[in-house]
Structure 1
Amino acid sequence: MGKQVEVLPDKAGVLARGLELVMAKIASSVEESGRCTIALAGGSTPKNLYEAIAAQSLPWDKIHVFWGDERYVGPKHPDSNQGMARQAWLDRVPIPEANIHPMPTGSGEPAVDAQTHELELKQFFGVADGEVPAFDIILLGMGDDGHTASLFPHTAALSVSDRLITVGSKDNQPRLTFTVPLINRAKCVIFLVTGAGKRPALTQVFAPDGDPQTYPSRLIQPIGELWWLLDQEANPV
């Protein structure tokens, strides 16, 4: 299918199209395999999407929720991606707690927690060592610097190819993150990008040639579908 870029008039348009896509992918995944696995992003734009998803009627017992990255804080911390998604969506719907799979951040050792979560993913998806599981949906945002998940420019996490989960870093603060190979194994990746501040980086991400170490979102080339949903302000064209 390749890369699909859709430019919507404004943030509300991006959210409406994102909701439409997510609902369709959940329905098709449940129909095909009896469940849907979705990995969430942090940030203000996804938060509005989660609030919209919470208002839908869905087979909650068949949806399994994960996170593409997490700041190394507790779930009650205001910076927690898990905490945000619970407030905006998960606490508002009858989804079984066993279907919620947050990244652990409590051991005090980010590398240990990354390994723990990787093991959980392998067990959940039933994959052997060396195999990479395929999420049905991975939602991503993009920072003004071109990063996505916690894959920041010129950091070691960008080059990790033998793990599912690794430790990312921003301003010397650790974060847990999906690795590039795990994201790229997904059946459907959806970027939600809004605001004029994203346009310079998007220009580089979409350029025919460019440096993925400087603009890590260039590394996201899934074997499945890739959707870029942009508002007019973010549109680099």
Structure 2
Amino acid sequence: MTDLVPAVVTWADPGDAAAVADHIARVVSAPGQKRIAFTGGSTPIKVLALLKDRPIDWASVTIALTDDRQVPDDHAASNFGKIHGALGASGAAFERLEEGAVVAPFDLVWLGMGEDGHVASLFPHMHALVRPGPTVIATTPIPLPPEAPFDRLTLNHKALKATNEIILVVTGKSKKALIERAMAGDDRYPVADFLRGYGPPVTIYWSE
């Protein structure tokens, strides 16, 4: 779990939700206790729906979020509320985001990506409280997205990279093109920091 080796990026084939579900199942089914950081949004809920009938030992897993909006759990914009609603009865342990908390390493970090290339709540333009080490920071995107005009809590770069592996799950041709630009050297997008330079291996799951 180090960022001192060059990141290796692989495109999964197939890259659909079923393939992502298989990847999650492999990690969860490995021996011992596991730590997984889940992305927000609708994609994890779709993937978890594909896993609900599998004999998976979620009790061996601690689930964190890569980021969340600073809203109550029962708010429609709460990533924690959605994930806990899907897995709260599974036996999994949940680790809340707390600003300034030191974050232990993960077995898997699951990232999504916005149309502007942001990952977690690390935006191209934002107000952010910088903290050293793998930790949770507060961010506010600039401008605030009208569909989600909230302050955020997010794992910082060091926390997101403190993992055995990263999966990046995206859909749509425009996001694929952005990833290809980032991999070719365009550093305007936060996702570029995970696809180039140093860090854990990244598997990209892309579908139309």
TM-score, with structure 2 as normaliser: 0.83
Q: 1:160, CA displacement in angstroms?
A: 5.3
1:39 match: 37
1:107 match: none
Residues 171-211 of structure 1 deviation map (CA, whole Å, 9 limit, x = unaligned)? 1731000000111111111111012342342232221x122
2:83 to 85, 88, 108: 85
Q: 1:225, CA displacement in angstroms?
A: 2.7
Number of aligned positions between the proteins: 194
Q: Which moved more, 1:181-190 or 1:192-201?
A: 192-201
Which protein, 1 or 2, shows the higher relative CO under an 8 Å CA cutoff with sep ≥ 6? Answer: 2
Q: 1:102, CA displacement in angstroms?
A: 2.3
> Structure 2 counterpart of 1:23, which letter?
A
Cα–Cα, structure 1 residues 86 and 54, in superposed 2: closer, same or farther, change >3 Å? farther
1:102 to 96, 101, 107: 96
Q: 1:156, CA displacement in angstroms?
A: 4.9
Q: Distance in 1 between matches of 2:200 and 2:174?
A: 28
Q: Aligned runs of 1:1-237 on 2, under 5 Å?
A: 2-8=8-14, 14-28=16-30, 31=31, 34-87=32-85, 89-91=86-88, 93-95=89-91, 99-103=93-97, 113-115=98-100, 118-119=101-102, 121=103, 133-157=104-128, 161-170=132-141, 171=144, 173-207=150-184, 209-211=185-187, 214-220=188-194, 223-231=199-207, 233=208
Asked whether the equivalents of residues 114 and 165 of structure 1 are also in contact (C-alpha less than 8 Å), the reply is yes
Query: Between the two proteins, what is the percent identity of the paired residues?
Result: 25
> Structure 1 counterpart of 2:99, which letter?
A
Q: 1:159, CA displacement in angstroms?
A: 6.7
> Structure 2 counterpart of 1:94, which letter?
S
Q: 1:3, CA displacement in angstroms?
A: 1.2
> Structure 1 counterpart of 2:186, which letter?
G
Cα RMSD for the two superposed structures = 2.3
Q: Choose between structure 1 and 2: higher helix proportion.
A: 1
> Structure 2 counterpart of 1:142, which letter?
M
Q: Distance in 1 between matches of 2:138 and 2:112?
A: 18
Q: Distance in 2 between matches of 1:173 and 1:22?
A: 29
Q: Distance in 1 between matches of 2:51 and 2:131?
A: 32
Q: Which moved more, 1:16-25 or 1:167-176?
A: 167-176
> Structure 2 counterpart of 1:61, which letter?
A
Structure 1: runs of 5 or more not aligned = 104-112, 122-132
1:129 match: none
Structure 2: runs of 5 or more not aligned = 1-6
